Amino acid sequence: MPPLVIFDLDGTLAESKQPITSEMGMLVAKLLDVTQVAVVSGGALSQFLKQVVAKLPPDARLEHLYLLPTSGAALYEWRGDAWSKIYEERLSETEKETIETAIRAAAKETGCIDFSKSAWGERIEYRGGQVTLSALGQQAPLDEKKAWDPDHSKRHALHAVLKERLPNFSVGIGGATSIDITKRGVDKAYGIRKLCERLGIPESEVLYIGDELASGGNDEAVYKTNVRAENVGGPSDTERLIKSMVK
Ligand SMILES: [Mg+2]
């Protein structure tokens, strides 16, 4: 059993922005009994609490759980009665504005998003350590999101333009419709390294499980570390994998 198992959230533990199933909650709790577990994703802490923590059984050993929201720009651990922030690489107001300007320009340049049309909630969200562009808005229905960019071409186009316009930041593809922007050098690999250091665990002993490890995918940065990475096809695949680990 690896001393630390790290999961991506959307597409791996749960469907995009959906809570984990009660079966998944039970399995993660089983894993927490025998090893340490971390979750890393582009969402904010509140999203992690809603999607994962609230769905764990009441006796789950939260002291073994580590949360890396905003793509690893922050780390939280459980201190008995609350989630305590260990670090956060926050973006300043000025940085946030620079990013927002670049996003609007990239949307126009690529023709991928028309900001004059209404969306399902905010398209640009400031999450402290990260600014996230969601092409259809934060609350877009799952079907709409899946249909928006099935071949990744829109995200790749936006990603390329934003990377060029924002050389002092890290730009990554998030979920089905989103692009995540953090401070330069801050990504999932950064968060994983920080957590391994904190726990004194060599990266090579860690197992990472994600659904987008392929080139250009949301989990690709993980390959900058020495962790062992396992690709899954979705949450049911992840359930099978955890079952094989805890039996
Ligand atoms: Mg994913």
- Per residue in 127-154, pLDDT tens? 999 999 999 999 999 899 999 999 999 9
Please tell me the distance from the alpha carbon of residue 217 to that of residue 122, in angstroms, as a whole number: 24
Q: How far is the CA of 209 from the centre of ligand 1 (A)?
A: 9
Q: How far is the CA of 166 from the centre of ligand 1 (A)?
A: 24
Q: How far is the CA of 210 from the centre of ligand 1 (A)?
A: 6
Angle at 70 between CA 221 and CA 187, to 5 degrees: 20
Q: How far is the CA of 232 from the centre of ligand 1 (A)?
A: 9
Q: What is the pLDDT of residues 192-213, one digit of tens each?
A: 999 999 999 999 999 999 999 9
Domain ranges, ordered by start, for the chain: 4-89+186-246, 93-183
4-89+186-246 to CATH, choices 3.20.20.150, 3.40.50.720, 3.30.460.80, 3.40.50.1000: 3.40.50.1000
Q: How far is the CA of 37 from the centre of ligand 1 (A)?
A: 17
Q: How far is the CA of 74 from the centre of ligand 1 (A)?
A: 18
pLDDT above 90 covers a percentage of the chain that reads 96
Written as six digits, the tokens of 29 are 């709790």
Q: What is the pLDDT of residues 93-139, one digit of tens each?
A: 999 999 999 999 999 999 999 999 999 999 999 999 999 999 999 99
Q: How far is the CA of 41 from the centre of ligand 1 (A)?
A: 8
Q: What are the distances in angstroms from CA 99 to CA 44, 74, 163?
A: 18, 19, 11
Of 40, 66, 30, give the one whose Cα is nearest residue 189: 40
* Mean pLDDT score across all residues of the chain: 96
Q: How far is the CA of 8 from the centre of ligand 1 (A)?
A: 6
pTM above 0.85, yes or no: yes
Q: How far is the CA of 4 from the centre of ligand 1 (A)?
A: 19
Quick one: fold of 93-183?
3.30.1240
Q: How far is the CA of 211 from the centre of ligand 1 (A)?
A: 5
Please tell me the predicted confidence (pLDDT) of residue 217.
87
Please tell me the distance from the alpha carbon of residue 139 to that of residue 211, in angstroms, as a whole number: 22
Q: What are the distances in angstroms from CA 65 to CA 28, 109, 147, 219?
A: 10, 42, 34, 20
Please tell me the distance from the alpha carbon of residue 116 to that of residue 72, in angstroms, as a whole number: 32
pLDDT above 70 covers a percentage of the chain that reads 100
Q: How far is the CA of 47 from the centre of ligand 1 (A)?
A: 14
Please tell me the distance from the alpha carbon of residue 134 to that of residue 10, in angstroms, as a whole number: 14
Query: Do the domains at 4-89+186-246 and 93-183 have one common CATH topology?
Result: no
Amino acid at 138: Q
Please tell me the distance from the alpha carbon of residue 193 to that of residue 163, in angstroms, as a whole number: 23
